[in-house]
Structure 1
């Protein structure tokens, strides 16, 4: 196979065959144009990539065709015959379906191993950890950021090169039947569920309904059809029974004696965690907080079921750091060479991940007696009728931490403020905009500030705006 073929994701014949498109001018993707990738965004498209003009309720990719061509698009796929003729593009009836069909084509020809990961918490971090470890053993393709819906999955698979050895996919869901469709499209050889909790419970009758929806990931399994579960999760037995319908080989990680990765000891150590697992393996996760250790164990479980030389990954594990917004540490400069620290866990939040973050900051406070804890807690969204109950469930955890200052952001967390305003020092803001105005007046040198809330609150963007890191 030539280098040009290796660097090529798809060729003209592949694309026309997969999409059943019509080349009205017979000029779509000439032999000179190598399709090195697939893009649906003219802002980020790279030279050589195929541009697919998606059309939705509030956007139309056809408007950006010229931008894509100027940036070096190797070809375009459109659902407008006039534009197809004008720009030498491939005409299809539905561009979204053409993207999905390209994904099906790429997955069908791929001979490597596909691992699909889902869960209420930790799926993005687990995907990133696993992908970084698998790269040691061969070319590895993975979901970009957390693009885990049908379009994100289709785009990921469409960009899958035939010379990759592994493909790690993150599959998400907000409603039932979503994961079944994603699993069928991805046809994974291995699936892993990190956990099940009340995330998105506003869209479900109860937590069991969420567990059932998560189990849909088993439906697309193909040989060798391996399943990895969290044995410490309260829905473990239920998921195990569901998995038996689709798999004869079910492995798990956690504290159960027969776990493929058995947790023997966990100790908070500064910003990180000491982890001991079976086979007398001791891992110093110097940059990963306590709740991230389960993500490491899930990734290690995949390494073990694939029977890879796990000793090769230990040095990489030592170097692992949380992704931005998922527990990463920052030092922010103040006047007179002073500073404060931020634990940026603001990418998203649900009751389980919020409690994990509060537990972690409590452990941090025990090891940082010379520093003060500040909590900035934003609303947890999509909790439906349980919203008030889940927010108030955080109150005992916050009291135990006894922060120097509690700041709530949003309408739902106002219930926490009202409950605690006469017990601890706290203040409430309706929006992140209000917080931003007063933030630096409230923060003092040597504060450790935990920032966490659902993505829709805006705290993740807030963290990005105030970052001025200084050397540790």
Structure 2
């Protein structure tokens, strides 16, 4: 992080500093993740209180702590505050302003992580850049990212998630983004948001507190852009789309997809250029257009975008090909799932050569519509060029029920079936898809172990 003194931090949070005024260059809320000159913040969650890990943090090298009560038998400096969590968020906001960094905030139902990673891949070539780690896209993860900004005037690319109203609203006060992009909107998080209108509002919160100097980028192909444009007030948004349409600023032409690669012509206000992607799917063309739009606003030229996107590789658990052999491939799409990503991944599989299998687990957080939507997914698959559908879980039963697939209640029986199919077909592609709580990533690990043990090849 940008160096701060304990006295400076104490003033920010209206705390009481006990001990020497040391320089801090890393902040952690995890006692196991302690680095040089680290301040440990005893964050309180719903089911935990990190004050019990203060001594562990010191053993691991923390040189100061921020806590809500005084620790008598500790020799390192302490900052005592009334509310640890609010202090943590205040520090994040302070570092964000002190760094004078350019903040990019990306939200939406699908593609957030890929757009973030693609944008980083492009922007790191023109200025020091920093991004949220993995899926740390809530107020805690984003605040931790901001706390540890390393340099002044960086590009900081933030993935912003939400599953309820007023979450992004509270976060925007901390991050104060310069560029905001909404990727798309699909049915998700209905267990908390209850309906589609609340989902639109929740994602749109990212636009409500922007100043006139902020830039907004919206997906013209999303049904909701009119609402988002309306709440953007005086800011004129830029639009991206898969197609050339009136009022669209960034779009593609001459799309060619083949198995796990694609190419297209990127059109932008500064010109056009051919983009070759080594990642699969139309969804990644969308993601690359969005990342290009952000990067062009921040000064990237088209050649840098072309070279950077060509080097971009699939992210773990997001349509990442795993080769059992040259013509026997598992598509690992186990990170998460909603209706939009399910349709996108299924369409991709449908257009790949070989015997095509989809293994699907429950799609969660669909609220009262969960049974209806799982039945609908079965009907969608039924109209695609997919040879075999296998499902596991409770709700996924309704998928296979509507597409004459096979449903499993036992993971071992499912594995036996997968192994049989891999051995039977010389040219086979297996897509594995489902919400993260289904732990399908464990199924991937089991299949990789069987490959390494030469049980399947």
Q: Please confirm whether the aligned pair reaches a TM-score higher than 0.5, indicating the same fold.
A: yes
* Pair 1:306 & 2:294 matched: no
What is aligned with 2:282?
Answer: 290
**Secondary structure in 2 matching 1:406:** strand
What is aligned with 1:315?
Answer: 307
| Structure 1 unmatched runs, 5+ | 1-6
Cα separation, 1, equivalents of 2:436 and 2:123: 29
Give the counterpart of 1:281 among 256, 261, 273. Answer: 273
Q: 1:222 to 1:437 in 2, by over 3 A?
A: farther
> CA deviation digits over 1:69-95, x for unaligned, max 9?
222223221222135855532222222
> CA deviation digits over 1:341-377, x for unaligned, max 9?
111111000111100000011111xxx2xx3111100
Equivalence map 1:266-277=2 (5 Å)? 266-277=255-266
Answer whether contact 1:291 1:360 (CA < 8 A) is retained. Answer: no
Give the counterpart of 1:82 among 71, 82, 102. Answer: 71
Give the counterpart of 2:409 among 430, 440, 451. Answer: 430
Q: Which moved more, 1:71-80 or 1:96-105?
A: 71-80
What is aligned with 1:372?
Answer: 355
**How big is the shift at 1:439?**
4.4
> CA deviation digits over 1:433-469, x for unaligned, max 9?
6645764345335321100101111113432454357
Answer whether contact 1:139 1:163 (CA < 8 A) is retained. Answer: no
**Secondary structure in 2 matching 1:393:** helix
Cα separation, 2, equivalents of 1:239 and 1:120: 14
What is aligned with 2:143?
Answer: 154
Answer whether contact 2:168 2:202 (CA < 8 A) is retained. Answer: yes
What is aligned with 1:354?
Answer: 342
* Pair 1:173 & 2:167 matched: no
What is aligned with 2:400?
Answer: 417
Answer whether contact 2:334 2:433 (CA < 8 A) is retained. Answer: yes
Answer whether contact 1:265 1:277 (CA < 8 A) is retained. Answer: no
Equivalence map 1:17-416=2 (5 Å)? 17-24=11-18, 26-27=19-20, 30=22, 34-82=23-71, 85=74, 87-222=76-211, 224-243=213-232, 245=233, 247-254=234-241, 255=243, 256-278=245-267, 279-332=271-324, 340-364=328-352, 368=353, 371-416=354-399
Q: 1:35 to 1:455 in 2, by over 3 A?
A: same
Answer whether contact 2:361 2:392 (CA < 8 A) is retained. Answer: yes
Give the counterpart of 2:419 among 422, 430, 440. Answer: 440
> CA deviation digits over 1:276-332, x for unaligned, max 9?
122342111122322111111111111222343232221111011221111111113
Answer whether contact 1:116 1:188 (CA < 8 A) is retained. Answer: yes
Cα separation, 2, equivalents of 1:379 and 1:83: 50
**How big is the shift at 1:240?**
1.5
Cα separation, 2, equivalents of 1:434 and 1:19: 56
Answer whether contact 1:10 1:37 (CA < 8 A) is retained. Answer: no
Answer whether contact 2:390 2:408 (CA < 8 A) is retained. Answer: yes
How many matched pairs? 445
Answer whether contact 1:38 1:155 (CA < 8 A) is retained. Answer: yes
Q: Which moved more, 1:74-83 or 1:322-331?
A: 74-83
Q: Which moved more, 1:248-257 or 1:192-201?
A: 248-257
> CA deviation digits over 1:37-69, x for unaligned, max 9?
211112233233221111223222122223222
Q: Which moved more, 1:312-321 or 1:346-355?
A: 312-321
Q: 1:374 to 1:139 in 2, by over 3 A?
A: same
Answer whether contact 1:9 1:35 (CA < 8 A) is retained. Answer: yes
Q: 1:377 to 1:322 in 2, by over 3 A?
A: same
Q: 1:447 to 1:48 in 2, by over 3 A?
A: farther
Q: 1:339 to 1:275 in 2, by over 3 A?
A: closer
RMSD: 2.3
Cα separation, 2, equivalents of 1:398 and 1:86: 63
* Pair 1:16 & 2:5 matched: no
Cα separation, 2, equivalents of 1:77 and 1:112: 25
What is aligned with 1:4?
Answer: none
Q: 1:45 to 1:461 in 2, by over 3 A?
A: farther
